[in-house]
Amino acid sequence: MKTVNDFNFSGQKALIRVDFNVPLDDKFNVTDDTRIRAALPTINKILKDGGAVVLMSHLGRPKEGPTDKYSLKHVVNHLSKLLNKPVKFASDCIGDVAANASKELMAGEVLLLENLRFYKEEEKGDEAFADKLAKNGTFYVNDAFGTAHRAHASTAVIAKFFPQNKCFGFVMSGELESVDKVLNKSEKPFTAIMGGAKVSDKILILEQLINKADNIIIGGGMAFTFVKAQGGQIGKSLVEEDKLQTALNILEDAKKKGINIYIPVDAVVADNFANDANKQTMDIKSIPNGWMGLDIGPKTEKMYADVIANSKTILWNGPMGVFEMSSFEHGTKSVADAIVVATKNGAFSLIGGGDSVAAINKYELGEEVSYVSTGGGALLEYIESGSLPGVDAIVK
Ligand code: AMP
């Protein structure tokens, strides 16, 4: 895997695809700069070598071409402060405006191009558009893991215009190394913890993990489809009736392959989907009508903590319950705590996919696990298919 560390950028104009799709408030201040900060090491390495940096990104989902609300000009000052140097801005990402700005750029300078998605050609992966973008640099660096699962012009197609001069930035290489550690170089036992709302969203991933993991822990809304498939009574808990057979197939497949699948044994149930609903803890297989399971119960917490404690590699995707409500967050918090303990004892832990990242951040435990992925969709797709357009474009 070629990264920016494998090259000297002296005299180069590095065109870096970054993910500056950051939230802005109504005065266009950046309210969470995690993604911008993540790109700084790559930018600084290239500047330190004596290169110039041309940054390109998308911001939001503009539908009708250029829209002030989605202009990347709103990010310039913030980036400038973080880099501690002025950042130039081109009000277009292709054409004369961009070409002139990138041509004039000197070693040590940084230029940010306007939102790529002001052109519909970006998301279509249009080759002519990618060619125009490519004119802005002499070297292509992809550091946008969050969009690596999209075959867009700037994330994949553009790479063909830099047959030799292309590589990953540190965000990309960090993500790929950590997922590789989990999927291909895992120290055993490897435990995958899968939660969240629906089985249907996780089937492909479960099918992959059955070939890799030693233990699969199931929680969240998706657990109830497994419980019902095995003949349990789940009241009005979340269920996907059309996935009952799929759940049984997964259990059967795991058994054949000698993989342990753990399903919750007890649940915190409520009479309503609300934080102040009446609640009680009970056996997960006998939830009465009118009640729904919204979290795993204490026996399950203990069982899961024991499995996690004995693991050397851990992947966590999806909460154990409705962790957004304080009444039903205990199970998710207990899993997060167990992962932190296992990590302290030497396990490698990767947290990835939207809501488990939200959960680990809610409990401020991001620093206490091995790696928190920045790209939910990209990570899940990588696990499912073993490749991503943005990765293949650099590697091939
Ligand atoms: P996902 O995006 O598939 O990871 O699902 C995350 C969502 O699943 C969160 O918003 C949780 O509140 C929700 N969730 C977790 N457990 C349950 C449950 N037992 N019943 C309903 N929703 C749940």
In this predicted structure, the answer to whether residue 394 has a pLDDT above a threshold of 90 is yes
In this predicted structure, the answer to whether residue 374 has a pLDDT above a threshold of 90 is no
Predicted pLDDT at 13:
98
Mean pLDDT rounded to a whole number for the chain? 96
Task: Report which protein residue has its CA nearest ligand 1's atom 1.
Answer: 196
Report which residue type is found at 54.
V
From the candidates 60, 108, 232, 354, which is the catalytic residue?
Answer: 354
In this predicted structure, the answer to whether residue 337 has a pLDDT above a threshold of 90 is yes
Return the closest-CA partner of residue 394 out of 176, 151, 189, 142. Answer: 142
Question: Cis peptide before 189, with omega less than 30 degrees from 0?
Answer: yes
Helix, strand, or coil here: 50? coil
Task: Report which protein residue has its CA nearest ligand 1's atom 5.
Answer: 196
In this predicted structure, the answer to whether residue 396 has a pLDDT above a threshold of 90 is no
- Classify domain 186-385 at the CATH class level: alpha beta
The torsion region of residue 346 among left (phi > 0), alpha (psi -120 to 50) and beta comes to left
Lowest mean pLDDT among 164-168, 275-279, 380-384: 380-384
Which stretch of DSSP H or E encloses residue 177?
Answer: helix 170-183
CA distances from 30 to 60, 67, 116, 209 (A): 13, 17, 19, 37
Distance CA 237, CA 287 (A): 9
In this predicted structure, the answer to whether residue 235 has a pLDDT above a threshold of 80 is yes
Does the Cβ of 393 fall within 6 Å of ligand 1? no
pLDDT digits (tens, 9 = 90+) for 179-189: 999 999 999 99
β-bridge pairing 348-351 and 371-372? parallel
Does the Cβ of 322 fall within 6 Å of ligand 1? yes
pLDDT digits (tens, 9 = 90+) for 15-71: 999 999 999 999 999 999 989 999 999 999 999 999 999 999 999 999 989 999 999
- Name the residue ranges covered by the structural domains of the chain: 4-172, 186-385
In this predicted structure, the answer to whether residue 354 has a pLDDT above a threshold of 80 is no
Distance CA 52, CA 9 (A): 8
pTM for this entry: 0.91
Residue 375: which pLDDT band, with cuts at 50, 70 and 90?
A: confident
Residue 158: which pLDDT band, with cuts at 50, 70 and 90?
A: very high
Question: CB 173: neighbour CB atoms within 10 A?
Answer: 19
Helix, strand, or coil here: 5? helix
Question: CB 345: neighbour CB atoms within 10 A?
Answer: 11
Which tokens sit at 69?
A: 């609300």
Residue 53 · residue 9 · CB < 8 Å = no
CA of 316 from ligand 1 middle (Å) equals 14
Same fold, 4-172 and 186-385: yes
Return the closest-CA partner of residue 175 out of 380, 36, 393. Answer: 380
Residue 201: which pLDDT band, with cuts at 50, 70 and 90?
A: confident
For residue 212, count CB atoms less than 10 angstroms from its CB and return exposed for 0-12, middle for 13-18, buried for 19 or more: middle
Predicted pLDDT at 376:
84
Return the closest-CA partner of residue 250 out of 294, 219, 205. Answer: 205
Distance CA 322, CA 319 (A): 7
Which stretch of DSSP H or E encloses residue 266?
Answer: strand 266-270
CATH 3.40.50.880 fits domain 4-172: no
CA of 275 from ligand 1 middle (Å) equals 14
CA of 281 from ligand 1 middle (Å) equals 18
- Which whole number is the average pLDDT over 119-146? 98
From the candidates 198, 279, 285, 299, which is the catalytic residue?
Answer: 198
CA distances from 370 to 211, 267, 333, 364 (A): 23, 29, 17, 14
Predicted pLDDT at 57:
98
- Which whole number is the average pLDDT over 148-152? 96
From the candidates 13, 17, 35, 236, which is the catalytic residue?
Answer: 35
Helix, strand, or coil here: 281? strand
Residue 394 · residue 166 · CB < 8 Å = yes
In this predicted structure, the answer to whether residue 353 has a pLDDT above a threshold of 90 is no
Distance CA 43, CA 56 (A): 12
In this predicted structure, the answer to whether residue 151 has a pLDDT above a threshold of 80 is yes
What percent of the chain is modeled with pLDDT above 70? Answer: 100
Predicted pLDDT at 195:
95
Our answer to whether residue 198 is catalytic in this structure is yes
CA distances from 217 to 180, 240, 261 (A): 20, 19, 6
Does the Cβ of 355 fall within 6 Å of ligand 1? yes
Our answer to whether residue 297 is catalytic in this structure is no
The torsion region of residue 84 among left (phi > 0), alpha (psi -120 to 50) and beta comes to left
Distance CA 60, CA 33 (A): 15
CA of 79 from ligand 1 middle (Å) equals 35
Probe residue for ligand 1, chosen from 355, 357, 360, 362 as the CB with the greatest number of ligand atoms within 8 Å: 355
pLDDT digits (tens, 9 = 90+) for 277-324: 999 999 999 999 999 999 999 999 999 999 999 999 999 999 999 999
Per DSSP, the residues of 297-363 read -HHHHHHHHHHHHT-SEEEEES-SS-TTSGGG-HHHHHHHHHHHHHHHTT-EEEE-SHHHHHHHHHT
Which stretch of DSSP H or E encloses residue 73?
Answer: helix 73-83
